[in-house]
Amino acid sequence: MRKYDIALFDLDGTLSESGKGILDCVRMVFEETKRPMPNDEIIRSFIGPPMYDSLVRCGFEHEAALKAVEIYKRNYIQSGIYKNRLYDGMGDVLKSLRNEGVRLGVASSKYQKFTDKIINMLGISEFFDVIGGSTSVSGRTENEIKPRRNKLDVINYVIDNMRMTPTDRIVMIGDTGFDAEGASAAGIDFIGCLFGYGTKEDMQEHYTVGTPIFAELPTDIMSKIIA
């Protein structure tokens, strides 16, 4: 029996093991802008939130952050994007969920074109009804599309484009406090992936509308959604 009718997946640290590609490209940003290199803990915190927000948090002013985002995107599309790997067992989980009638979506803060490309590279696009990523880094629209800057924007975009009924039960699956916060703001349940890049404590702190559920391994997700 299904506990949820719709499951939304984060990308980095949830569907794909992507840390090396992201962090390599973040370091390239600091090297090319000739700024002091942050310690590994700060660099690691770039996984999850929008790149622009992480750069501002590290002291980049608005215009400098916009330019740094372009540096990141250039390096990521050239090299970082190819360092993604689907977590072991995740393909079987997605296939089983679809076979059980669960509708699936991707809700990632990664830029839409990167999200689309990675999902295709991983060979899992067939499982998802909607693939959502961010579309703006500064609140401006791109191609007259309503900007999606944060996790809540992306979650709402994906939900709005799913084939939903008023009784559908929805869960967000992610690996960071950023994902938990987005799920909490959207008022939906949350499954935290302990095999990703965040911590259990951070996810618990940022999910404030209930008690999060946790999955130790990708294969544990199935039992959290199907009774």
Q: Is 104 helix (H, G, I), strand (E, B) or coil?
A: strand
pLDDT at 139: 44
Domains of the chain with bracketed CATH: 6-17+84-225 (3.40.50.1000), 19-82 (1.10.150.240)
181-195 confidence digits (pLDDT tens): 999 999 999 999 999
Half-sphere exposure of 207 (CA within 13 A, CB side): 26
pLDDT at 86: 98
Counts for the chain of helices (H) and strands (E), in that order: 10, 8
Does the pLDDT value for residue 41 go beyond 60? yes
11-39 confidence digits (pLDDT tens): 999 999 999 999 999 999 999 999 999 99
Longest dimension (CA), the chain: 55
130-183 confidence digits (pLDDT tens): 999 998 654 444 555 678 989 999 999 999 999 888 899 999 999 999 999 999
Half-sphere exposure of 167 (CA within 13 A, CB side): 2
Range from 43-47, 193-197, 222-226 carrying the lowest mean pLDDT: 43-47
**Neighbouring C-beta atoms of residue 122, cutoff 10 Å:** 17
pLDDT at 50: 87
User: What mean pLDDT comes out for the span 210-227?
Assistant: 95
- Kindly report the average pLDDT of the chain as a whole number: 93
